[in-house]
Structure 1
Amino acid sequence: MTDYKKILFERNGVISTITFNRPESHNAMDREMSDELQDAVRRVKRDRECRVLIFRGAGDTFCAGDDIKEFLTWTDDDPYWQARQYQETAQTIEDLTPITIAAVDGVCTGGGLELTLTCDFVIATDRSRWGMPEIDWDITPGWGGVTRLARFAGRRKTKEWNLIGQLFDAATAERYDLINRVVQPEDLNAQVDALVEVMLAKNPVTVRRSKFALNKGADLPLSGAMAFEIPIQPFASKPGRFATDGMEDFSDPAARAERRKVSKTFWQD
């Protein structure tokens, strides 16, 4: 456990966990927490053994975004520099090699919602509350709430959420592609663990290459995006041979069944 004050950072084998740890403030992010988050994310980026990074919130909430009360102590230049730091941290998370999972319970608003947009998977409880309420505090979101969010939910809904500032429930968030899976609060940890198990069963080289192509190609025209699939070696082959272990297992019914037993019916209920 690394000695941070506002977050908890834990590494367990190939799994790292960052927990926002200001439950008395709905895990709102002040500058100290922001600095610690950036440092922890950079630590994961340098960790070649890490395969999964999980984001959680302490208590019964995920993250309420920025600590608005702290803004009253800022100088004129602080909003610019803080927004630049937020954007750098968000982009670093999105570009991480490990699979990233946001485990969301309770409040997930402002910067908390924006952070989930950078993750590969989001699992949330049915009691989680979502929204971009910054407009009522005379703030324009700086983590991607008016840009990255539109690429998930579309311009129309993103304008509604940002210009009205209302909260919405997990079912709405799922409908607009902000959540992969909605679960009961007591099932959140088990669902995260199950997803981690599935992802660790995959070939890490294939995961890394596929994630890179997905992230970098998502915002390009199809002809440009397809180029990401060509220069990199498309298969996780071992040196000196084309065939992968997975290809060889495909020819063996028992081995093929073993490889697919977890993935084949995962999240089909």
Structure 2
Amino acid sequence: MSYENILYGVTDKIATITLNRPEKRNALSPALRRELVDALRTAEHDDEVTVILIQGAGDAFCAGYDMNSYAGGDANPERPAGWNHSELFESWTGQFPRSALRDWFTIWDLMKPVVAKIHGYCLAGGSELMSMCDIVFAADDTIIGYPPTRAQSTPDIDYFPWKMSMAQAKYLQLTGNSVTGARAEQIGWIAKSFPAAELDDQVMRELRPMTKLHPAMLAANKFTLNQSYETMGMRAAMQACVPWYVIARSFRPGGGEFQRLAADEGLKAALAWRDGAFKAEGFPL
């Protein structure tokens, strides 16, 4: 596949995938997602690659899913791979979260470790992508969160119970509030955070010795860890959240109001409606 939305390269056993829509804060369009999944699989099959690094170009890692693909921005939006357009299924089976699960479980199932390096903003779908990576490093001032839970839907991938304590999971998912990279490290959401000016150097310091490990040893350790979470029910729990997404987005009282505002008055108006009360109290995003 030729890439238009990502950059891909291999140097010193590290395959680097750069989300490359900086003018959109690397919003996850269906095309970008297809290219990212293809690059992940390409790296997995390359014996010259030991570790895979995902990063973002520009001033943000990823601001979330491209809203035009599902929030009313386009009359005929492009859909992610695997979308079922049948009238029997499309309106009620959660095609969008199903597509997100398919894409990001690629990272989980990959035989090589995937590391995310995040900076700027890492929101909503961007936080799903980040949270499904094996290791995450962040700039201290990165803003990480899932504001759509305030008004749009439950998460496409409900990683909260698996990435942090119950107290923090409930606080962050119920409020839609965000935290900094430094705070995300404190609550165990990510592995480490660093001053923004040091992020690139510190991540390479972490990755260089990893590349000296045998890829089969890394795979065995990843599979052992993943199997423990699978035994505890992680995959089944995430799949079971799809119906709640459908109910919350489309069938609950007030469902669809964000999408209606986005279509009628524009995305900025919808975001102001969703986030205004929190911004008034000084909460970021």
Which residue in 1 is equivalent to 2:189? 178
Decide which moves more: 14-23 or 77-86: 77-86
Q: Does 1:102 align with 2:123?
A: no
Distance 1:52 1:189, change over 3 A: same
For 1:99, give the aligned amino acid. P
Greater length-normalized contact order (CA 8 Å, ≥ 6 residues apart): 2
Distance 2:221 2:138 in 1: 24
Which residue in 2 is equivalent to 1:256? none
Q: 1:119 aligns with which of 121, 130, 133?
A: 133
For 1:84, give the aligned amino acid. R
Which residue in 2 is equivalent to 1:57? 56
Distance 1:173 1:100 in 2: 18
The ranges of structure 1 where at least 4 consecutive aligned residues each deviate by more than 4 angstroms after the TM superposition are none
Distance 2:45 2:212 in 1: 22
Q: 1:133 aligns with which of 147, 156, 165?
A: 147
Work out which of the two has the higher radius of gyration on C-alpha atoms and give 1 or 2: 1
Which residue in 1 is equivalent to 2:274? none
Which residue in 2 is equivalent to 1:195? 206
For 1:56, give the aligned amino acid. Q
Per-residue deviation, 1:13: 4.8
Per-residue deviation, 1:5: 1.5
Q: Unaligned 5+ residue runs, structure 1?
A: 222-269
**What is the DSSP-based 3-state SS (H/G/I as helix, E as strand, rest coil) of the residue aligned with 2:94?**
helix
**What is the DSSP-based 3-state SS (H/G/I as helix, E as strand, rest coil) of the residue aligned with 2:231?**
coil
Distance 1:39 1:159 in 2: 34
Distance 1:218 1:128 in 2: 27
Paired residues, number: 217
Contact 1:34/1:86, CA 8 A, preserved across alignment? no
TM-score by length of 1: 0.73
Q: RMSD of aligned C-alpha atoms?
A: 2.2
Distance 2:216 2:38 in 1: 25
TM-score by length of 2: 0.70
Deviations 1:119-147 (CA, angstroms, capped at 9, x unpaired): 221111011001111124513221x2x2x
For 2:112, give the aligned amino acid. P
